Amino acid sequence: MAWAAVAAGVALCLPALGLGLLFDDLSHREFLIARLRDGQAPGTWWNMFELAGRTDAGETARAIALGAVPWWASPRLVVAFLRPLAVASHALDYSLWPDLPWLMHAHSLAWYALVAGGAALLYRRVQGPSAQAGLAALLYAVDEAHAAGASWIAARNTLMTAAFALGTLLLWTRARTAARRGWPTALAALSLLCAHASSEGAFGAWPYLLAYALVLDGAGRRRATIALWPLAAVSGSWLALAAAGGFRVQASASYVDPRTDPLAFAQAVAERLPLLLHEQFGLPLQLEVALSRTWQHSAAFGAYLLIALATAVAWPLVRQRPAAQFFALGALGSAVLTCTAPIEPRLLFMVGIGAHGLIAETVVACLRGLTGSMPARALRGAVAATLLALHLPLAISYISPTLQVRPTDQREVDAVARGLPRDRQTTALIVLNTHDCAFTVFVAGQARALLPSPPFLYVLGASEDPVKLTRPRHDALVLEPTGGYLREATSQFLRHPKERFAPGQTIAVGDWRIVVERVTRDGRPARVRMEVPKIDDPALGWITWRESSRRFERVALPPVGGALWL
């Protein structure tokens, strides 16, 4: 059953072979081709995930002044991830088959087969050749959340991390039960090193390693924990290497670095952990997105209720099983560590190891515990049926919609890029307002790839709420978003909420001046004045996002003293 489950999980993701390059794939291609083929771009090829500020504290500030980064970005922004092995896998793609995206997807699906197979082996190792192990392998392989990571080339780092983390767990459990522990221990340390070289998500293996020492290792908790020192040396050395190289996250609201800001990490855990558990145990994301806001809240409440009910009903049945304790501790610990990043389904590979093992333990325990009073039997049967329905037929049915979402969005990016309003005189398009900052960045990238003479795009504001535009004088514009700026999620990537704006704060962007005239109570810009010396220069095209047409459209600036709504 386990190996059939692995084959089924990979087969369900085979449509990903036709998805092509999506979003970050395009910037990765541009980055690697420039270095591997042309050899002209600065920097090394393995620093593809270095986005800002690692080697030069003033890099982001200069990028803001040059207009390469929006004005609200923190001058202290640093986003740099050390993932050389993951980058090497992409470099292999662009060295061998640079114009065959289907082979790149096949490469990723091969990693997913390793992940699903490794999970099946781990379940068998922990649960024995049992119904629980077979069911857990099936649940893990067909989880629709995993399809998001398996089908996106740019997300391969999460697949590789999970594969090597599972290899670490399998080799370590082998080492703890083998007569000769030397070579399994050395290989476990090497596998953990490869996991770290794939992404920072490798730390998600540690809750499982500690849970094994506390619950399953026959040598006793103290001796088993001390025995982890070779793996601890690997993780500690990698942390030191990353710190010495300046790889970290700073001043971003999207990513949190526990090393540099433990309080922000604690706050992120409080905010994100319930959402992550809901994502893991609740309805498929694509189903929730299709619901109205009221039904989304109801679905979230139902997910939390199901978690509480399943825990109350099943825990007395499974608490005597060390495997259930191992999976519970591992899933919760890895979920806490996953809170360093925005909650996305593709990040649930490590959490899912424990989650699906625990679900399988719960379902089997409930089905075998159909004894006693009628209400107790009915409740256990209902919990088992609900869990199975959510994580088998419903999950399988939403793998295909999950695979279709990104191509749909990419086609919209392409269409918007081709339809940017411009003429021969326009060399720069100034976005007065956009609904999604990241979307606009992708549009700018595609404009460079698709258009013969692409205009430069600069974003002045990002707000999903209405924005009032006034013109107090000839060379100035004032933007007032309802509710203030930095409410739109993707714009928060560039600045942490703790870094507040102050009234009168001025940011220079080339020969422009951006003055924050008023702020909200939590320090976000509420009224911003843009001083533009050549505001009527025909080279400048003023545009805004129109939700009705799903396009950027030209805006005729009002006369002095006039106003309009964006």
For residue range 410-469, list pLDDT tens digits in order: 889 999 999 999 888 899 999 999 999 999 989 998 998 888 888 899 999 999 999 999
**E strands of 237-367, at which residues?**
249-250
Secondary structure element (H or E) that encloses residue 456, with its range: strand 456-459
Q: With a cut of 80, say whether residue 295 has pLDDT above it.
A: no
pLDDT of residue 95: 92
* Cβ–Cβ < 8 Å for 446, 419: no
Q: With a cut of 70, say whether residue 347 has pLDDT above it.
A: yes
Burial of 502 (0-12, 13-18, 19+ CB in 10 A): exposed
Order the strands of the 50-52 sheet from edge to edge.
50-52, 78-80, 249-250
pLDDT of residue 311: 82
Question: What would the two tokens of residue 320 be?
Answer: 């005597």
How would you classify the pairing of strands 551-554 and 467-473?
unpaired
| Token pair 């609900």: residue | 386
pLDDT of residue 41: 67
Average pLDDT over residues 455-484: 94
Average pLDDT over residues 127-135: 93
Q: Where are the domains of the chain?
A: 2-48+83-216+266-399, 414-565
Question: What would the two tokens of residue 353 be?
Answer: 């190891």
**E strands of 29-166, at which residues?**
50-52, 78-80
pLDDT of residue 302: 83
Q: Identity (one letter) of the amino acid at 83?
A: R
Average pLDDT over residues 49-66: 81
* Cβ–Cβ < 8 Å for 299, 283: yes
Question: What would the two tokens of residue 314 be?
Answer: 């099943």
Q: How many angstroms separate the CA atoms of 296 and 521, rounded?
A: 29
Average pLDDT over residues 85-104: 95
Q: With a cut of 80, say whether residue 363 has pLDDT above it.
A: yes
Q: With a cut of 80, say whether residue 406 has pLDDT above it.
A: no
pTM exceeds cut of 0.85: yes
Nearest Cα to Cα of residue 560 among 458, 460, 478: 478
- Which tops the pLDDT comparison, 293 or 230? 230
Q: With a cut of 90, say whether residue 305 has pLDDT above it.
A: no
